[in-house]
Amino acid sequence: MTILPTVFAAGLALDNTFFAFLALVIFLAIVFWAGAHKTAGKALDDRSAQIAKDLDDAKRLREEAEALLAEYKQKRIDAEKEAEEIVSRAKADAALYATESKKKLSEAIVRRTKQAETKIAQAEAAAAKDVRSAAADLAVAA
């Protein structure tokens, strides 16, 4: 108790502020001694590790998505090329078919024309024969 008279003599009073400060210092000492700072530090470290893991997962997923997007873009380009090839082949086939059809039509026209000319020639010959025969019959009858 020798300290109290000197504290009061220095002008310090033992009021509520002093006891609140003293209680805070004691509380912090107990918390520090109990190792609460280690637990809080460990919790923060665990949370930091979880965040780092989540960021790595997000980065990996983004890279996978970009790779998948590039793959689908390439597939789309390939499909467009294939479609263009199919269209060009179809046009070429259609042109070839049209050419062949024109050729066959021309051949058919020539063949029919020859057949018609042959029939006309046969009809003319038959008509000439009939006319000669009729003329001969008339000459004999006359």
Q: Do 14 and 7 contact (CB within 8 A), yes or no?
A: yes
Torsion over CA of 90, 94, 99 and 103, rounded to 10 degrees? Answer: 130
> What average pLDDT does range 47-53 have in this prediction?
95
pLDDT digits (tens, 9 = 90+) for 79-111: 999 999 999 999 999 999 999 999 999 999 999
Average per-residue pLDDT for the chain: 88
Higher pLDDT, 15 or 87: 87
- The pTM assigned to this predicted structure is 0.45
Of the pLDDT bands very low, low, confident and very high (cuts 50, 70, 90), residue 39 is confident
Spell out the alpha helix ranges (H) of 1-142: 3-9, 16-34, 36-141
Q: What are phi and psi of 51, to 5 degrees?
A: -65, -45
Does residue 6 carry a pLDDT above 80? Answer: no
pLDDT digits (tens, 9 = 90+) for 106-128: 999 999 999 999 999 999 999 99
pLDDT digits (tens, 9 = 90+) for 57-82: 999 999 999 999 999 999 999 999 99
Q: Do 31 and 37 contact (CB within 8 A), yes or no?
A: yes
Torsion over CA of 8, 12, 18 and 21, rounded to 10 degrees? Answer: -130
Higher pLDDT, 32 or 48: 48
